[in-house]
Amino acid sequence: MTLLDVRGLTIHYDLPQGTVRAVEDATFTVDRGEVVAIIGESGSGKTTLAMAIAGLLRPPGRVVRGHIYFDGLDLSRLDDDKWREIRGRDITVVFQDPNTYLNPLMSVGRQVAEVFEAHGMGSIRSREVAERAIEILRRVRIQDPDKRYWSYPHELSGGMKQRVLIAMAIALKPKLLIADEPTSALDATIQAQILDLLEELRREMGMSLLLITHDLGVAARIAHRIIVMYAGQMVEVGRADEIMSDPLHPYTRALVRSVKLDRKRLLGVPSGAPPSLISPPPGCRFHPRCPYATEQCTTWRHTLYVRDNRRVACVLYA
């Protein structure tokens, strides 16, 4: 059953230097209980997409076209008050850097308790709300949660802080949890713990998880389906196991190969950065780096071709 249905979503940033086409024509769904990973390099538009779905897109970013249907509701037509009800209750976010996404001047327990307060379950000063917050802290495996309730962010390790952010995000059993690079700021051992925790909580609560990451390894670990983005466009969508065993798009192929060989750099692709999104290259945006590029690619119009269970945006599969 579909929980989230994104259709033709296009997001621009109007800057003095020009219009940044951060996300173009994003179309995908997330089912209830499903884990979908959006993967791409920094600047591929994946975070912008996530923020738009969470209703946290800030100017100069704006949705130009498209719709986000969530649980039967058209989010793109929601007013601020309705959005406020949904944020933190039905859609929540775990952000990438636990060091800066927590308020340094407020105890972590209270920051969790605020979620209950925001959704009309009593003041953060009330005993019941504090107890619920402590319960949630215990749920994300924080030791001595009643003591930690009064700790400040600077007194906790990075992994603990990330657990606090996760606690806020699961406090009200959301339908959709968006995790934006939830492990990028942590070291490898903690990364695995946090991923396992997210996966475990998802299974217990039956929520859907939209995982935003640049790390295909992280995506392959817990995702059911993977969406690969390049320069603001979706280039391949498919089941995680299929994408990992048989990547179709040349960009995905390079990604998969570099993960399998445990390399940081993309393999088989000329090095370089993703293109400027103010004036992207004509045709396929990947063609300047693509080993298979032909004349055709400079005039090709972005289309997702259906191939078995897969959608792929490359003229090779036209």
Partner 1 sequence: MANHIINLFVSRAAKYIFCVVFLAAMVFRFLAWRGLQMAITIIGVILVLFLLVRVLPGDPARLLAGPEASQEDVEELRRLLGLDRPLHEQFAAYFLSVLSGDLGTSYRTGEPVIAEIMRRLPYTLALAVAAQSLAIAVAVPLGIVAALRPRSMAGYAASIFGVLGSSLPVFWTALLLIWAFSVELKVLPSGGAGTPAHMVLPTAVLALFLMGNLVRITRASLLEVLGANHVVTAHSKGLPWNKVLTRHVIRNALVPIVTLVGVQFGTLLGGAVITETVFGWPGIGRLVVESIFVRDYAVLQGTILIIALFFMLINFLVDIVQMFIDPRTRNV
CA distances from 119 to 134, 204, 285 (A): 17, 22, 43
Q: Check residue 71 for interaction with partner 1 (CB under 8 A).
A: no
Question: Distance between CA 203 and CA 177 in Å, rounded?
Answer: 12
Q: Check residue 106 for interaction with partner 1 (CB under 8 A).
A: yes
Residues near 68 by beta carbon (within 8 Å), at least 6 away in sequence: 4, 5, 6, 7, 9, 52, 53, 74, 75, 76
- Span near partner 1 by CB under 8 A; candidates 19-27, 38-46, 63-71, 81-89: 81-89
Min dist. Cβ of residue 10 to partner 1 (A): 22
The structure tokens listed for 204 are: 């217990």
Residue span 117-156 as binding mask against partner 1, x where in contact by CB under 8 A, dash where not: xxx--------------------------------x-x--
**8 A C-beta contact, residue 104 and residue 154:** yes
Residue span 164-203 as binding mask against partner 1, x where in contact by CB under 8 A, dash where not: -x--x-----------------------------------
**8 A C-beta contact, residue 70 and residue 4:** yes
CA distances from 240 to 141, 190, 218, 283 (A): 28, 23, 11, 27
Options 104, 188, 261, 265; binder of partner 1; rule CB under 8 A: 104
Options 93, 136, 179, 277; binder of partner 1; rule CB under 8 A: 93
Min dist. Cβ of residue 15 to partner 1 (A): 16
Binding site for partner 1 (CB under 8 A): 54, 56, 58, 83-89, 92-93, 95, 97, 100-107, 111, 114-115, 117-119, 152, 154, 165, 168
